[in-house]
Structure 1
Amino acid sequence: MSRRAKAQSRSRIRDKDVSMSALSNSNWDRRNVLRAAMGLAAAGGLAACGSNNGRGGSGGSGTQLTQMFHAYGEAGTEQAIKRYAKAYKKANVTTNWITGNTFEAKLFSSLLTKQAPDVFEFHPQIQMVKSGQVADLTDIIDPVKDDFNPADIKSHTVDGKIYGVRMIDDPQFFFYRKSMLEKAKVDVPTTLDELLEAAEKLTTNKVKGVFLGNDLTPAINPLLWSAGADTLTPDNKPAFHTDAVVAGIKQLRQLFTSGNLLLDAPADYWDPSAINQGLCAIQFCGMWAMPAMQKALGDDLGVFPFPKVGDNGKQSVYNGGWSMFVNAKGKNVDAAKEYVKWLWIDQKEYQEDWATSYGFHIPPRTSIAQSATKLKSGLPAEGVKLFNEFGHFDNIGWTQSMITALTDAFTNSVRKNGDPNAALATAEKKVNAELKKLFG
C-alpha cells in the first residue's frame, strides 16, 4: 500500500505457461495497497473466504492453527507456504490462501468471527494494536531483535512493544531501458525536473516516456520523502504540507497532462508488463518483479530511486513489504506465537527461500540478507544498495483515514487540477483529527 485509495488487483504473475494479460486481474496487490480499516468487516463474508482458500494442513497433531495469506502472484508461493506449514510438528496448520481482490475484506470480516485465523499477514497498523487485535510479540523477537533491520522493528513498535514479525522488505524504484535512454541521449534522472525532461525526450508515437501506475498513487509517499517532507513527524504531527511538496505535486500535474506519461496500461505498476512489452521507457515498480524483467530484457535494464524534488530534497526509495501477526483474540495465542517464532524467526532457510526464490525481496534479517547469494551481484545488488541508501519505511501511526485524506488531496491536485495547497490543507485538518483520536 499502498498506501492508497482503494484495494486494487496488483500482483506479479511469473508462470511462463500463463499469459500476463490473462491473469493480471486475478490476484490482490501485495505492496502499495491501501490498507483497510477495521470497518471493512462488513464487506464480504467468511463463507466466501472459505470458497477459494486453497487449504493445506501441516503434518503436526493436536492443536489446530489457521494462517491467512493473500495470493501472491509469483509461481510457487502457495506451495512454499504450505510446505513450511507441513514441516511444523507441534500443530496442524491450515492455510487460507485468498485469491482475488478481497483479501482485506475477508481478513477483517473473519477476525470478528469464531473462525478467525490464528495467524495472518498484513501491514503494521496502530488501530490493530489499540483495539487489542494483535498480540505482543516482543518476547519472541527480543532475543534476535538486533538481527532485524532497525527500521522494520521501529515500524512495528508501539509503546516499546513489538507487534508483528516482518517477513519481506519490498523496495520500489524506477526501472529503465538502457538502450532507449542511450538512443534518446538521456541521462538517468536525479531530479523531478530531469524526469519530466526525460519523459518528453523518450516519448515516441509507440512508446511513452514514463509509467507511474494507472492512478499515479504509488508516487505519493516517495514524492513527500524526495521533497524532504514526510507523512508524520517523530512526535506524530502532519509533516506533508510543505512548499516543496506543493511544487512537486504541480510538477506531477504537468507530467500527467504532458502526453508523455503512460496511462491506462493493461496492468498496473506492480506488474512489469508495461516496460517488458515496450510500452514505456521508464516504469515505477518493485524489486519483486526484477526476475521477470531480466528474463524479458536481459542486461538492457537499470534502476534509479525516486528523484529529488526541490532544492532541499533527497532521492528516496519506498520500502513496502509484509508482516506476520498473531490474532490476540484467538483461542490458541500461545501456540500461534510458537508457530510464528518457529517459522519466521528460527527457520532461516525458509525465510531466505521465501525472500529470494519466487521473485526478489530483501530479507529483514541482516544475517539472511548478507548471505542471500541471489542479491549479491548485478541488478539485485544495485536494488539492495538503493534500499540501504535511500529507503523509507511505514509509520505504524499513519492510518487508513490519513492515507485516504492524502490520497484525495493528491488525486484532486494531479488528476483533477485542483489547488494542491488547499488540498493539502484539507488533508492536514483530517489527519490532525485522526491524530487527536489516537494520541490525544
Structure 2
Amino acid sequence: MTISIDPTRLSGVKRSSTYLAMRSTQGGRTVYSLRVPLADLSVILPVPNPEEPDPDNRKVDRRHAKDFGDYLHRKIDWVAPALLARDNGGCKFDGIEGAPEGRLGYLEIPWSVGALSPLSTIDGQHRILGVDIEIKTLTEQINKINKDIERARSEDRLSQLRQQRDDLLQRLQRMDSEYVGLDIYLEPDNIRSRQMFVDVADNAKGISSALRSRFDGSKIANRTLDRVMDHALMKGRVDLEQDRMTTKNPNLMGAKHVADLTRAVAVGVAGRIGKKRETELDDAAVTEAVHKFLECITEAFTDLAAVADGKLAPLQLRQQSLLGSVGTLRVLAGTYHVFTQEMDLDDEEITEFFRRLNPHMNAPVTSASIWRTTQASADFEINASAPVMRTQNLQHLVDVVAGWYKNPPTGL
C-alpha cells in the first residue's frame, strides 16, 4: 500500500500574520498602511511594560493605558487615530499584480516574540497596553465565571452567570471584530528610528483644555458650554482656543474657564463630577443655575455690568479689578454654590451680599484691603490682581467669603 503525503499541507507553527496593506512614501521612507483587529495588536507589536520602559520611547502609565481599555468598553462609537510603528526590515511586502505602481499588497509581519519582533512602537503605547489589559481582564473574568458555573446549583444562579458570561464574550468578540489603523515606517537604522520618535513628539500639537471643553461632550460642564456662553456677560468674550488669559488677550476668559465656573456652581469650587454624578445632573437645570449666578454677579458688580454692556473691555477690567481674574470668578461661583445648596439663600439675597463686596474689588490688592486684613490674607498676596490659584486656596477663600454673610468683617 502506497502512502502519499502532501508536504504543502504541513505548515507547523507560523509565527506571523499577513494583512492587506497600502505602500507609500513619506520623508524618503517606505510606509505600510493597514487596518488591524484590536486583538492582534499585542501579537504583532511589543506590549509596553510600565516597570521596564523602552529606552527608545517614553515610560507608559498603566492607569492611563487602562483608561483607554475602559473607554473602549464605555463607548461603542469609540474613535482613535492610527498607531505608528517602525519596521527594522523584518516585514515582507508582496505586491498584488495589477495594483497601480505596486502600492497594494500583502504585508507579512512576524509576531512580537522576544527579540524576534521587527516592529517597535513610535506612537500608541498606551493604546496597545490598554487593549492588552482589557483582553486579559475579560479572559480572566470569563474563566472565573466558567468555574462558578460548574459549581452553581440553582437555575437562577446558572442563568445569571451565563448572562454575565455572554456579555463578557460579546465584549471580547469586539476585540476581534473592530479595527484600528496602523502605519509602519521602514527604517533599519536605529539612530534614525530614535529621531522619528522625537520628531513625532515635537510636532504633535496637544489638545488644549479650551478645545477639550468645546468638543468633549462626555462632561456636562462641556455639553452646556454653548448655552452658558450665550449669557450677555460672556457672549463674544470667550476664547475658544486658548487656556490662558494673558495681558493682551481681549477675552474675558477661555472655554475651559467657563467649564470651571459651571462645575463650581454645580458641585463647588473643589468639587468633582464623577460618572454617577454626571448621570444625575440635568443639562438644562445646570445651565439655568449658571445663568442665575451670572445674573447675580452682573447686577452686583458695576465693572461686570459695564463689561456686559460693552462699556468696559476685559483687558481694562483685568488691569483695575479682581473680577478680571478667573480665580476670583471661580470663588464667587463656589460661594454661590454654598449659598444656594447649603445656606438656602435666594438670588436676591445673594446679589445683595455680592453688592457689598463691590467696593473691595479694586486691583491690585493693598495691605489695607479686606483681602489682606482678614483670614483671606492666606489666599491673596500684596499687589496681586488674583487669588492664589491652588484648589485648596480657592476652597479656603470660598469658606471665608461665605462666612462673611453672617459674620462680616469691619468695612463690609
Larger Rg: 2
Q: TM-score if structure 1 supplies the norm length?
A: 0.21
| Larger relative contact order (CA 8 Å, sep ≥ 6) | 1
